[in-house]
Amino acid sequence: MSRFQFPPSIRSRPVYGTLEPRRGTAHLMVADAEGAEALLDLARAAPEMMAKAHVLYIPAAEGNDLADRLRATGPAQFYVGPSYAASVSRLRKALADAHMGLQIYLAGTEGLIGQAMQEAMSAGYPASAIQTEHRGSVARRVQCVHCKGVTENVSVTPFVCSHCGLNLFVRDHYSRRIAAFQGVCVDAEDPGDVPAQEGLYQ
Amino acid sequence: MTIQFNDETFHDDYTFRNSDWAIQRFPFPFHEDSYMYSVNLEPHLSLRPGSVYEKTFDVDEHYVAEMKDRARVLAEDPLRCQSLPHMTLAGWDLLELIMVSKAREYPDLFELHRDGDRWHWINKPLGIEQKFVFLDETTLPCGPLEYITRQAQGDYALLDQRDDNLWMDAGMVTTQADWSLDFDIGMNFFEWHAPVPMASELGVFQRALKFLLNLQQGAPVRRLNWTMTVNPLLDTSPENYHKWGVQKTALTPENVGSKQHLRVELQTLFRLPRSNALAFPIRCYLIRLEDLVTVPKWGRRLHRVLRDLPEELATYKGFIRNRPMIVEYLSQFDDGTPTSPGVFPD
């Protein structure tokens, strides 16, 4: 129910897989909202790995709190954070403290996966040590190419930039460095002529 | 040869002009009467004295004005020049390549005196004289990439080579055809080309990458790319698109010949000696249609190319809305007679 098949797109757009248990000295698992379900599947497939797992979970604002079920899988360390921004310093510490052989599992929205991936890569982890699985909302983080401000949770196009107020068309072009899709002014050539808003995958 | 540098602008009042000399040497990009993407790389060898292909880095009458325009754009948006931390050495490689080439090929304009790592650079057109220690950043007013590309026409990307891919990890980008260095920095070859339609399906990028990964020192290559730009605006950046996009609507049948420009990029690629990175200069040339059609072969051919271009390409290149007007204008200069092969005027 929470798995979405993304249509084929351009080469800069991230693609996601399905989390699989891997052998590792330690396991760092980061999820938001329904991403918890992917971690639960993982724990079901390989319950023994949870004894070496550090789980960071950010439940969705709308509730559907899977935290108790995640805790019940018995992770060595378990953290529930109120937002990604509040959790990121803890994520950085976990990445910095880790030893060789750490496996990283990211699950949930594109915004969570993209930002946690960016932290892991800037901490020096190779892409081969990082698995991802998309679950839940298909809303995006979008960077306005004009003012550079990032708007979170964009699920329609065009939308109004939350920083500069321009009407932005949401592209599939994606920057892993910024962990965001690109938003470009939609009415630059005909100011005020803004197409009707539609859902991202309508 | 002495160049008379133009006093001109590439924004607001747009006083940019091409002299007859610049028109005759314009890098017309179409070797036949139709266009489709291709790898189209050829050795960057000196060709035809006086042409833009003669020198390693072409310097023309727009040099001083283009460097002023770059300084203006950078003052407004310093993010147009960025270099990831591991790319400083490649910046020095580029500085060396440009200084050595220009001093050798334009001795009346540029001088480079080297005593070991103590270098003395003289840039006469811009009135710059700099003594510095090669590979010592503290002896330049800014990083080596920014320093030298504030004195060299065209955009510059530095591509790191690792994992069988090329990574756009540094650049100076103020004369771009609508792409953002700030967004694309750190991307690999396939990622930064992702928005280009059709070319992936044609396998163009895979072949080009394979070729470029094997590019050798001392064997640079070049290709041309092109688009259409209303007004001689060098900075057609996505960052400022909300400001310049509306200029596309100012085209009328009366002004299309003077306002509509063919924009051509002379792209060259060099393997750099210390960093093993690739330097990727992208030099932009602009010509208004009414100047272009003074070369009858070019007028005829451009008419046919634009008329027959697939709609996806006209959309991607950003002139779909004005194509009918442009084609109508150019049709006056196409009498239907055959054109000779190759890009040069008859």
Domain extent listing, chain A: 26-134, 140-199
Does A92 lie at the interface with B, CB-CB under 8 angstroms? no
List strands edge to edge, sheet with B81-83: B42-43, B221-230, B260-271, B278-288, B155-162, B165-172, B81-83
Determine the residue of chain B that is closest to A122 in CA distance. B186
* B187, B240, B321: residue with CB nearest A175: B187
| pLDDT band for position B25 (cuts 50, 70, 90) | very high
Are the beta carbons of B241 and A146 separated by less than 8 Å? yes
Q: Do B190 and A178 touch (CB under 8 A)?
A: no
Spell out a b/e string for A79-100, using b for 16 or more CB atoms within 10 Å of the CB, else e: bebeebeebeeebeebbeebee
The answer to whether domain A26-134 has CATH 2.10.77.10 is no
Which region, left, alpha or beta, applies to residue B193 given φ > 0 means left and ψ of -120 to 50 means alpha?
alpha
pLDDT tens profile B226-267: 999 999 999 999 999 999 999 999 999 999 999 999 999 999
> What residues pair up with A140 in beta bridges, in sequence order?
A154
Strand ranges of the sheet holding A150-154, from the earlier edge strand across to the other edge: A150-154, A140-144, A180-185, A167-175, A159-160
Buried b (16+ CB within 10 A) or exposed e, B298-317: bbbbbbbbbbebeeebbebb
Chain B nearest-CA distance from A65, in A, is: 35
Distance from CA of B189 to the nearest CA of A (A): 10
Q: Coil, helix or strand for A140?
A: strand
Mean pLDDT of chain B: 96
Of A12, A166, A184, the CB nearest to B194: A12
The domain limits of chain B are 20-331
pLDDT-derived band at B2, boundaries 50, 70, 90: confident
Residue B215: what are its φ and ψ, rounded to 5°? Answer: -60, 135
Q: Which residues from B are below 8 Å from A when comparing CB atoms?
A: 79, 180, 182-187, 190-195, 200, 238-246, 248-249, 321
Query: What would the pLDDT profile of B119-135 be if each residue is shown by its tens digit?
Result: 999 999 999 999 999 99
B242 vs A171, A174, A188: nearest CB: A188
pLDDT, position A128: 87
State the catalytic residue, choosing from B17, B72, B223, B323. B223
Q: What is the ipTM of this complex?
A: 0.94
Strand partners, A29: A55, A105
B86-120: per-residue pLDDT in tens?
Answer: 999 999 999 999 999 999 999 999 999 999 999 99
pLDDT value at B200 more than 80: no
Reference B56, options B8, B10, B135, B110; nearest CA is B110
> SS3 helix, strand, coil % of chain B, rounded to 5?
35, 20, 45
Query: What single-letter DSSP state applies at residue B127?
Result: T
Report the run of H or E that residue A198 belongs to, with start and end.
strand A198-199
Per CB-CB distance under 8 Å, the chain A contacts of B242 are 146, 166, 185, 188
A13·B249 Cβ contact <8 A? no
CA distance A8 to chain B (A): 13
Asked if A10 and B192 come within 8 Å (Cβ–Cβ), the reply is: no
**Contact check, Cβ <8 Å, A175/B190:** no
Gap from A142 CA to chain B (nearest CA, Å):
11
Q: Where are the alpha helices (DSSP H) in chain B?
A: 20-24, 63-76, 88-105, 144-149, 181-184, 189-192, 204-213, 241-244, 256-259, 289-292, 296-308, 311-316, 323-331
Counted residue by residue, chain A has a size of 202
| Cα dist from B71 to A167, B83, B170, B325, whole Å | 29, 17, 18, 34
pLDDT by 10s per residue, chain A, length 202: 468 999 999 999 999 999 999 999 999 999 999 999 999 999 999 999 999 999 999 997 655 679 999 999 999 999 999 999 999 999 999 999 998 899 999 999 999 999 999 999 999 998 889 999 999 999 999 999 999 999 999 999 999 999 999 999 999 999 999 999 999 999 999 999 999 999 999 8
Cα–Cα distances in Å, from B30 out to B45, B56, B201, B306? 19, 22, 22, 11
Predicted pLDDT of residue B39 = 81
pLDDT at B53: 97
- In this prediction, residue B80 carries a pLDDT of 98
Would you call the peptide bond into B78 cis, given omega within 30 degrees of 0 as the criterion?
Answer: no
H helix and E strand count, chain B: 13, 10
pLDDT digits (tens, 9 = 90+) for B148-194: 999 999 999 999 999 999 999 999 999 999 999 999 999 999 999 99
Which chain A residues touch B246 with a CB distance below 8 Å? 188-191
Using the beta-carbon criterion (under 8 Å), do B186 and A11 form an inter-chain contact? no
Run of H or E including B115: strand B110-115
Is B16 a residue whose pLDDT tops 60? yes
- What does the pLDDT look like over B304-337, one tens digit per residue? 999 999 999 999 899 999 999 999 999 999 999 9
On whether the CB atoms of residues A106 and A60 are closer than 8 A, the answer is no
Q: Residue B259: how many CB atoms within 10 A of its CB?
A: 21
Residues in chain B: 346
Residue to substitute from B196, B242, B323, interface A, most A β-carbons within 10 A: B242
Concerning whether B323 is annotated as a catalytic residue, the answer is no
* Tokens of residue A105, six digits: 């599992």
In the predicted model, is pLDDT for residue B1 greater than 70? Answer: no
Share of chain B above pLDDT 70, in %: 100
Count of beta carbons in the 10 Å neighbourhood of residue B19? 14
Handedness of CA B28, B34, B39, B41 (dihedral sign): negative
The reported pLDDT for the residue numbered B212 is 97
Residues B157, B145: Cα–Cα separation, whole Å: 10
Percent of chain B at pLDDT > 90 equals: 95
User: From residue B105, how far is each of A104, A188, B99, B177 by CA, in Å?
Assistant: 54, 43, 10, 28
